């Protein structure tokens, strides 16, 4: 069974299937990449909780930065946020995001 949560014509914010939670890409508000990363990760946490999961259960994360030179700043926030001993498989790349003011987007897959 596939369960879709917070669904509209374009997408679902959460999709659950066979014990796995898929989140749509999350972005955050703020002036700096650190601020946006913190806000983004708080949104990830809220969606995981709504889906019956948690940061400890993240399987994979894909991080997109508009400028790869922000990698270290984003990682400072990420490293402080990831629960010790529960680091997921992760990739990070540079990409143009949906709005000019966005600097980071994170896509998460987690176990229920």
pLDDT at 103: 98
CA dist., res. 112 & res. 103, Å (int): 29
Residue 57 DSSP class: G
CATH code: domain 24-111 is: 3.30.1330.40
pLDDT at 6: 96
Ranges of each domain in the chain: 24-111
pLDDT at 7: 94
Mean pLDDT of 6-28: 97
Angle made by CA atoms 96, 77, 74, in degrees to the nearest 5:
25
């Amino acid at each position: 069974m596939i369960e879709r949560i917070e669904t509209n014509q374009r997408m679902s914010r959460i999709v659950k299937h066979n014990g796995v939670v898929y989140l749509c890409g999350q972005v955050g508000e703020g002036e700096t990449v650190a601020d946006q990363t913190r806000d983004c990760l708080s949104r990830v946490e809220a969606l995981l909780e709504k889906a019956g999961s948690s940061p400890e259960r993240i399987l994979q994360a894909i991080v997109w930065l508009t400028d790869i030179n922000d990698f270290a700043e984003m990682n400072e926030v990420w490293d402080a946020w990831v629960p010790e001993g529960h680091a997921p498989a992760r990739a990070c790349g540079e990409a143009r995001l949906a709005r000019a003011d966005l600097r980071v987007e994170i896509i998460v897959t987690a176990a229920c």
